[in-house]
Amino acid sequence: DKGMFLENPLPCLELKRSFILGTQERRWRATLAHRFVEMLHTKLGKLTRWYTQNIDGLELQTSIPREKIVNVHGSMGAAACEVCGAEMDFGEFCSKIRTNIKDISGDDAEAPSQSTPIDCPRCNNPTMKPTIVLFRSSLPKEFHVRCQQDLPECDLLIIMGTSLTVAPANSLVYRVPMTSLRLVMNNEMVGRRLGIDYEDDSVRDVWASGYTDQSCLDLSERLGWLDDLATMADELPESSADLLRKKLAQR
């Protein structure tokens, strides 16, 4: 809650300390789905924008330029002041998290015993935090600006691993032109109330049924990208790497 954070920012930073530092240390790795989107940019040059509701910062492990990524709900992989919006280098922010914020899990013996605020270098308020959108906060202006720029020209919208129940991010589904194709990669039929058509005679909507990683791997195979993925195998989480190795073994 934004009001609670502004009143006392320390509990939020204490709760998120491990998540913040884990993001910087890459304790979690970008998946096959992330790498597939990356290759839409590097191999085809066809990625207009990547709108993500995830706050884990995994997309920042890819080579996709930052300006092509819209973190709809903010990110644990970036830091800014909640009051004035001034950004702070993420490495510097993490250093301050280590020295200023206690570890309530008790795992970090070098963490301080008491927390002290992290001040904004611009406005001096103790309100530096990850850019995650707090309850009762507005979405980033970038989301609205990019939507106005991108959606009228969209010819293919790929929808991955989402329930399509959270507004306004789910509005992208019906804000693209009627001529736009929509590919849904999900293990469930989502977005019917938003107009996605799962009937066999649908002319614009395609459902890739199953887990997103598997669907992205299958598409990568059809596009001839398996060798590219093979070079990234050691960087993938184990579940993604296992899928890739099995696919490569079948060739």
Residues 6+ apart with CB under 8 A from 186: 159, 160, 161, 162, 207, 208, 209, 212
Burial class (CB in 10 A: 0-12, 13-18, 19+), 14: middle
In the set 34, 41, 73, 144, the catalytic residue is 73
Q: Using CA atoms, how far apart are residues 119 and 108, in angstroms rounded to an integer?
A: 23
Whether residue 34 lies in the annotated active site? no
Tokens standing for 104?
A: 């309530």
Tokens standing for 44?
A: 């085809």
β-pair type (50-52, 69-71): parallel
Positive/negative CA dihedral, 35, 130, 93, 112: negative
Positive/negative CA dihedral, 2, 191, 172, 53: positive
Residue 54 amino acid letter? N
Residue 102 amino acid letter? K
Tokens standing for 75?
A: 């990110």
Q: Using CA atoms, how far apart are residues 246 and 227, in angstroms rounded to an integer?
A: 13
Residues 6+ apart with CB under 8 A from 76: 16, 19, 20, 23, 55, 56, 57, 130, 132
Enzyme catalytic residues = 73
